[in-house]
Amino acid sequence: MDINKLGWSTFFEDQFQPYKEQGLSAGRVLKELRGQYTLYSAEGSITGDVSGHFHFTAMDRSDYPTVGDWVAFRQCADYAQIEHVLERSSAFSRNSSGNEDSQQVVAANIDYLCIVCGLDGGRNFNLRSIERYIAMAVEGGARPVIVLNKADLCDDREIAMLQAQSVAGNIPVHMVSAVTEEGVEEFSMSFEKGSTVAFCGQSGVGKSSLINSLLGMDTLRTAGLRESDLRGRHTTTHKELFFLKSGAMVIDTPGMRELQLWGSRKSLDDTYGEIREAAKHCRFRDCTHQNEPGCAVRELLIDGSLETERYENYSDMRAELSFIESKVDDKKRQARKAKDKQLSKLIRRTVKNKRK
């Protein structure tokens, strides 16, 4: 397949030039499983892993390749040794939520992030959770799309649509059913040739089922919800990119329980446009919109044009992101300190040697 059809662009071409001169090839990561990557390049698909040099120079988990990434690799017989990850044009990341805060890149170089919800009457349709996903899509530079799946199980579609639109702003909302396939055709036509679409959302909302209906075959494994609480069973366990006949590409991801935020506060304000606009009229420029006098955001609460729940969700996310920002800054400060120490040691040694 021609790699131009896989989302390759001048943005990647320019970065790849020096590696090309070193005899490396370009490939896109289709799948990652326990450190093994499946790549797609001009010559077809090949598996491999990152080189020793790559391990040595990688600083952070987010430096490693993820699904959707473009990489420069050396071909050794039928094995690929990945030497570089090209800079990402966009990414959907989250906080890896382990003991230490770190960026986990779920999918790279994506044009759209489909936020999939399930209208099955369980907890799989939650406006506050949609807001979190929108903020993370904006943060990573992907266009969010809200997908209301399982329309066949929904008693009042109009209400569900209105609820979704209340958080969507200008973001498109699609009502579909992977089972009856209603709305699926129109939904799939909204992605142009060569674009990459990542699917995210809680387990059991029907991400894999929807991708199966887009592919026109049952490629991906799906499974029913737990009857006791209508929660998903975490059926999908790895991320993978698939090609659609339309020329678009889709990435399936494992369901997440709750999206842990990653990024800065700036994109949050882009998600809540009305808060950003009102904030321009707050008396204090660094107003946190909590209890400062002359806060124009809290005015919106009083006159009812900003819903309390929406405001509270915003405040929670803002606090979460500030916390992460300060931790990341700490990490950077420590890394800089360590480097400075190294450098001064080196200088001392050089001066000493000169004196000898």
Ligand X SMILES: Nc1nc2c(ncn2[C@@H]2O[C@H](COP(=O)(O)OP(=O)(O)OP(=O)(O)O)[C@@H](O)[C@H]2O)c(=O)[nH]1
Residues that bind Mg ion (CB under 5 A): 207-208, 235-236
Binding status of residue 296 toward ligand X by CB under 6 A: no
Binder of residue 129, out of ligand X, Mg ion, Zn ion, none (CB less than 5 to 8 A by kind): none
| Window 244-263: residues binding ligand X (CB under 6 A) | 254-255
Binder of residue 138, out of Zn ion, Mg ion, ligand X, none (CB less than 5 to 8 A by kind): none
- Which residues would be at the binding site for Zn ion (CB under 5 A)? 282, 287, 289, 295, 297
Residues 6 or more apart from 33 whose CB is under 8 A from it? 238
CB of 136 to Zn ion, least distance (A): 24
Task: Compare residues 170 and 291 and give the one whose CB is closer to Zn ion.
Answer: 291
Binding status of residue 47 toward ligand X by CB under 6 A: no
CB of 128 to Zn ion, least distance (A): 21
| Window 176-195: residues binding ligand X (CB under 6 A) | 177-179
Task: Compare residues 188 and 208 and give the one whose CB is closer to Mg ion.
Answer: 208
Cβ(124)–Cβ(204) below 8 Å: yes
Neighbours of 235 (CB within 10 A): 17
Q: Of 141, 84, 115, which Cα lies nearest the Cα of 255?
A: 115
Partners of 196 in the beta sheet? 249
| Window 208-237: residues binding ligand X (CB under 6 A) | 208-209, 222-225, 232-236
Neighbours of 2 (CB within 10 A): 7
CB of 332 to ligand X, least distance (A): 34
| Binding test (CB under 6 A) with ligand X, winner from 205, 251, 295, 306 | 205
CB of 313 to Zn ion, least distance (A): 16
The H-assigned helical ranges of the chain are 10-21, 52-57, 127-140, 157-168, 184-189, 207-215, 265-271, 273-279, 296-302, 308-355
Say how far apart CA 37 and CA 46 lie, in whole Å: 8
Q: Of 288, 296, 354, 276, which Cα lies nearest the Cα of 321?
A: 288
CB of 168 to ligand X, least distance (A): 20
| Binding test (CB under 6 A) with ligand X, winner from 33, 42, 76, 153 | 153
CB of 242 to Mg ion, least distance (A): 12
| Binding test (CB under 6 A) with ligand X, winner from 132, 207, 289, 298 | 207
Residues 6 or more apart from 120 whose CB is under 8 A from it? 150, 153, 225, 230
The H-assigned helical ranges of 107-148 are 127-140
Say how far apart CA 135 and CA 185 lie, in whole Å: 27
Q: Of 135, 163, 160, 165, which Cα lies nearest the Cα of 150?
A: 160
How many chain residues are in contact with ligand X, going by CB under 6 A? 25
Binding status of residue 200 toward ligand X by CB under 6 A: no
Cβ(343)–Cβ(351) below 8 Å: no
Binder of residue 179, out of Mg ion, ligand X, Zn ion, none (CB less than 5 to 8 A by kind): ligand X
Binding status of residue 206 toward ligand X by CB under 6 A: yes
User: In angstroms, how far is the first alpha carbon of the chain from the final one?
Assistant: 64
Handedness of CA 152, 156, 160, 161 (dihedral sign): positive
In this structure, which amino acid lies at residue 205? V
CB of 290 to Zn ion, least distance (A): 8
x/- letters, 132..151, toward ligand X (CB under 6 A)? -----------------xx-
Binding status of residue 152 toward ligand X by CB under 6 A: yes
In this structure, which amino acid lies at residue 22? Q
Task: Compare residues 67 and 297 and give the one whose CB is closer to Mg ion.
Answer: 67
Q: Of 130, 227, 257, 145, which Cα lies nearest the Cα of 192?
A: 145
Binding site for ligand X (CB under 6 A): 149-150, 152-153, 177-179, 203-209, 222-225, 232-236, 254-255
